[in-house]
Amino acid sequence: MPTKTALVTGASSGIGEATALKLRELGFTVYGAARRTDRLQSLAERDIRPLTMDVTDEDSLRAGVDRIVTDTGRIDALINIAGYGSYGALEDVPMDEARRQFEVNVFGALRLTQLVLPHMRAQRAGTIVNITSMGGKIYTPLGGWYHGTKFALEALSDCLRLEAKPFGIDVVVIEPGGIATEWGAIAADKLEEASGSGPYEAQAKAVASSLRSEANASRNSPPSVIADAIGKAVTARRPKTRYATGFGAKPLISLRRVLPDRAFDTVISRAVRLPR
């Protein structure tokens, strides 16, 4: 049996870095992709193959996939992790930023998927793993554009799962909860930039404080929790369609499922200490 090959986007830190290392540990030939390969140096030293890739740039996506197929002749797992959180009131966030959020979190992942699918179909096997979030099932104030991308990626993954099944390709969604990465700080910075003054200022202060909260940070799960779930998904004969894992993911998704909308509104508003 040839060695299986995996492509991991967003590999320069956090969940992407942990996933690249986990898949290498499981015996995959792993290509770790990021916009800046200088941030992949530590992975290169651990037998991960660095790949320059910007998920919003068509040429870099094509070049990356072509290089992997030329080098190894196959792609067995695509792990779409690259993404970021851009918070701010729906009214305040400039449309250019809203579009960029979708370009990175949704269209980049799906364009890369389009490029990989012909190779997986030819193999009659493969696994595509899309990292959404518990934020693809729940919602928070001032996170509308971000949640929109994750809800969209959930729906697209479900459709793709049905389309790809006849070709022996599995499609898996990973729904992280709170994870100890730079994500919260970046989202808080974006929030203050967009809505730190003006009519949403009080809400922005509350939500930014929650995103940066040391108490929340101390409860967040390490990125390895998500890497382990991805490892299970790509090695299982019949993987689950979804893996909800990490701090708060399962209970919050369950609450959303059973509570009426306004009751869940109250739970979330209190959780982030939203002013009344």
The one-character DSSP state at 165 is: G
Cα(89)–Cα(5) distance, integer angstroms: 41
Q: Is 90 exposed, middle or buried (0-12, 13-18, 19+ CB in 10 A)?
A: middle
Cα atoms in the 13 Å half-sphere on the side-chain side of 81: 30
Residue carrying structure tokens 């940070």:
217
What are the C-alpha distances in Å from 98 to residues 9, 75, 165? Answer: 21, 32, 32
Strand partners, 233: none
Phi, psi of 50, rounded to the nearest 5 degrees:
-75, 145
Q: Decide if 146 is catalytic.
A: yes
Q: What is the DSSP code string of 175-198? A: EE-BBSSSHHHHHHHHHHHHHSSS
Contacts of 136 (CB under 8 A, 6+ apart): 147, 150, 151, 153, 154, 173, 175
Per DSSP bridges, beta strands 77-80 and 5-9 are parallel
Residue of 87, 146, 200, 243 with catalytic role: 146
Active site residues: 146
